[in-house]
Amino acid sequence: MKNIIVVGASSGVGAALKSKLEFSGFQVFTAGRNQISSAGHIEFDANSTESFVYPIEWPTEVHGLVYCPGTINLKPVSRLTQKDLCADFQVNVVGFVNILQACLPALKRANGACIVVFSTVASNIGLSFHASIAAAKGGLQSMAISLASELAPNKIRVNVVAPSLTETPLAAALINTPEKIEASSKRHPLQRIGNVNDMASAAEYFLSDNASWITGQVLVVDGGLSKIK
């Protein structure tokens, strides 16, 4: 049985992925700010600057690590503050490195593991008011590709899922009326916004044996937004 750690599994994509993996027979261990009904759940705050210590409750071999935390901070550049930029970078990049460093020995022991992180379509195309989040997620995406090279000798694959707007609690303010949902849906060629299962399925694929020869790749799950007009 494969052991998978899902960071940010209390809601949204992380919660959907946890359910999918458990249904498929994976042993799932979780980390996040909010408590969930899971024996292997550990408190983890991506905003913390303290080093994360690998819990004794977690397995000595880990076959997959998925990092789901993110931010949505949409402002014109004239209103961005250093606090905004640092907060986005902390959650999306520093938080990931913090937990990765703790999990790396267990990932190496698996003799074949996979890391999946979530970027954003805004890191690949220009979207107004996305400067801060695009920079932070773009940094995470570039880091993942670099890590794919660095960790390949350890048989650790690293891949990225880059979503467009997805119906999650984090995005609630952007889709809290029928009018907003309709407007956002119309911006996507497939005429709808994403849902958590779209993104969880992409991550599950990267974790599966079907993707065993795929690393350093960015899978853009955006309803055609970045490629189709």
Q: Among 26-40, 110-124, 209-223, which stretch is predicted with the lowest mean pLDDT?
A: 26-40
Q: Which residues pair with 220 in a beta bridge?
A: 162
Within a 13 Å sphere around the CA of 133, how many CA atoms are in the beta-carbon half? 23
Grouping H, G, I as helix, E, B as strand and the rest as coil, residue 5 is strand
Calculated CA dihedral for residues 145, 147, 151, 156, nearest 10 degrees? -60
Nearest to 160 by CA among 205, 113, 217: 217
Rg of the chain over CA atoms, in angstroms? Answer: 17
- Structure confidence at residue 2 as a pLDDT band (50, 70, 90): very high
Specify the CATH class of 3-221 in words: alpha beta
pLDDT tens-digit profile of 81-136?
Answer: 999 999 999 999 999 999 999 999 999 999 999 999 999 999 999 999 999 999 99
Give the span between the Cα atoms of 9 and 34, in whole angstroms: 9
pLDDT of residue 38 exceeding 80, the answer is no
Reply yes or no on whether the pLDDT at 37 is more than 80. Answer: no
User: C-alpha angle with apex 97: 71 to 111, nearest 5 degrees?
Assistant: 125
In this prediction the pTM is 0.95
Helix (H, G, I), strand (E, B) or coil at 192: coil
* Mean pLDDT of all residues belonging to the chain: 95
Rounded CA-CA distance 79/131 in Å is 11
Strands of 218-221's sheet, edge to edge?
41-43, 27-32, 3-7, 64-67, 113-118, 156-163, 218-221
| Tokens matching residue 215 | 């690393």
Query: Does residue 54 register a pLDDT over 90?
Result: yes
**pLDDT at residue 170, as a whole number:** 86
Q: What is the pLDDT of residue 150?
A: 98
Q: Which residue has the tokens 């550990």?
A: 42
3-state class (DSSP) for residue 156: strand
What confidence score (pLDDT) does residue 171 get? 86
State how far the Cα of 29 lies from the Cα of 26, in Å rounded to an integer: 10
Cβ partners under 8 Å of residue 150, min gap 6: none
Residue 172: what pLDDT?
Answer: 84
Q: How many helices (H) and strands (E) does the chain have?
A: 6, 7
Phi, psi torsion values for 116, nearest 5 degrees:
-125, 130
Tokens 């048989």 correspond to: 155
Cα–Cα distance between 67 and 109 in angstroms, integer? 19
What pLDDT, on a 0 to 100 scale, did the predictor assign at position 173?
A: 86
Compute the distance between CA of residue 190 and CA of residue 105 in angstroms, rounded to an integer.
42
Q: Which residues contact 171 (CB under 8 A, 6 or more apart)?
A: 72, 165
Query: Who contacts 56 (Cβ-Cβ below 8 Å, separation ≥6)?
Result: none
